Amino acid sequence: DAGVIQSPRHEVTEMGQEVTLRCKLISGHNSLFWYRQTMMRGLELLIYFNNNVPIDDSGMPEDRFSAKMPNASFSTLKIQPSEPRDSAVYFCASSTGQGDAFFGQGTRLTVV
Amino acid sequence: KQEVTQIPAALSVPEGENLVLNCSFTDSAIYNLQWFRQDPGKGLTSLLLIQSSQREQTSGRLNASLDKSSGRSTLYIAASQPGDSATYLCAVSETNDMRFGAGTRLTVKP
């Protein structure tokens, strides 16, 4: 298995534009997490899904952020409209639900 | 809300030293605790996973302990090497979520 795959690896966009981050889970995993990492705030849990259902989205900062899991192996995190303070590295991680976690390489987002 | 704290924030040691990284958490009702390593510009790699019923886990030169009642975990690295230089994060899970500490940035000097 290739592991958790995130795309794109880097994204530079202008303020106000829509940004979509993508994540492909490891086959057979049933839980997915989206995290944001910044120097100031460290790793913050944004949302996590179990069996395609959002369980806890309390970490999503604003209504500008939305996440979906259209099927068991794929998820998107969308920011619309993007702002400079959204600049961060966004990670997704997948899990079997037994407490393990496998992280993708992250998407470095820069909003100018 | 669970809060996870890691001390120290940064640590620099000469090669060969044994060292201990600390992690504390506020709510002892955890499902498990996990230690991760993160290299600059990279994702996180799981090092050790300790279930709530366990006291410690070992992998090579790494040993992680868990004391749920006091809300503490330690990561012991024996005979440190320059290749151990990275940021080490601990994460606690209460159900199936994970809450991370801010990490300890370790530098091992040759």
- A-chain residues near B44 (CB < 8 A): 91, 93, 101, 103
Structure tokens at A53: 């259902």
Average of per-residue pLDDT values in chain A: 93
pLDDT score at A100: 82
A8 near B CB under 8 A:
no
Count A/B contacts: CB-CB distance under 8 Å: 52
What residues of chain B lie within 8 A of the CB of A99, using their CB? 31-32, 34, 49, 51, 93, 96
Q: Please name the residues in contact with B1: beta carbons below 8 A apart, sequence gap of 6 or more.
A: none
Cα–Cα distance measured from residue B98 to residue B94, given in angstroms and rounded to the nearest whole number: 7
Mean pLDDT of A32-49: 92
Write out pLDDT tens, residues A50-78: 999 998 888 898 899 999 999 989 999 99
Query: How far is the C-alpha of A46 from the C-alpha of A111, rounded, in Å?
Result: 18
pLDDT-based confidence at A24, cuts 50/70/90? very high
pLDDT digits (tens, 9 = 90+) for B17-71: 999 999 999 998 888 999 999 998 888 999 999 999 999 999 999 999 999 999 9
Q: Give the Å distances, CA to CA, from B12 to A66, A93, B3.
A: 40, 29, 25
d(CA B21, CA B61) in angstroms, rounded, equals 14
Please tell me if residue B3 touches chain A, with a CB cutoff of 8 Å.
no
**Tokens found for residue B110:** 């040759």
Please answer whether residues A104 and B43 qualify as being in contact, where contact means their C-beta atoms are separated by less than 8 angstroms.
yes
The reported pLDDT for the residue numbered B94 is 81
Q: Which amino acid is at B78?
A: A
Distance from CA of A34 to the nearest CA of B (A): 10
Q: Does A18 touch chain B (CB under 8 A)?
A: no
Q: Min CA distance, B93 vs chain A (Å)?
A: 7
Enumerate the β-bridge partners of residue B25: B4
A49 at interface of B, judged by CB pairs closer than 8 A:
no
Q: Tell me the average pLDDT of chain B.
A: 94
Residues contacting A20, CB < 8 A, separation 6+: A76, A77, A78
* Any A CB within 8 A of B40 CB: no
Helix (H, G, I), strand (E, B) or coil at A10: strand
pLDDT band at B96 (very low <50, low <70, confident <90, very high): low
Residues B42, A105: C-beta atoms closer than 8 Å:
yes
Taking the CA of residue A83 and the nearest CA in chain B, the distance in Å comes to 22
How large a percentage of chain B has pLDDT more than 90? 83
Note the pLDDT of residue A1.
Answer: 65
Question: Is pLDDT of A41 > 80?
Answer: yes
Q: Which chain A residue has its CA at the smallest distance from B97's CA? A: A48
How far is it between the farthest Cα atoms of chain A?
Answer: 40
- Categorize the per-residue pLDDT at A96 as very low, low, confident or very high, splitting at 50, 70 and 90: confident
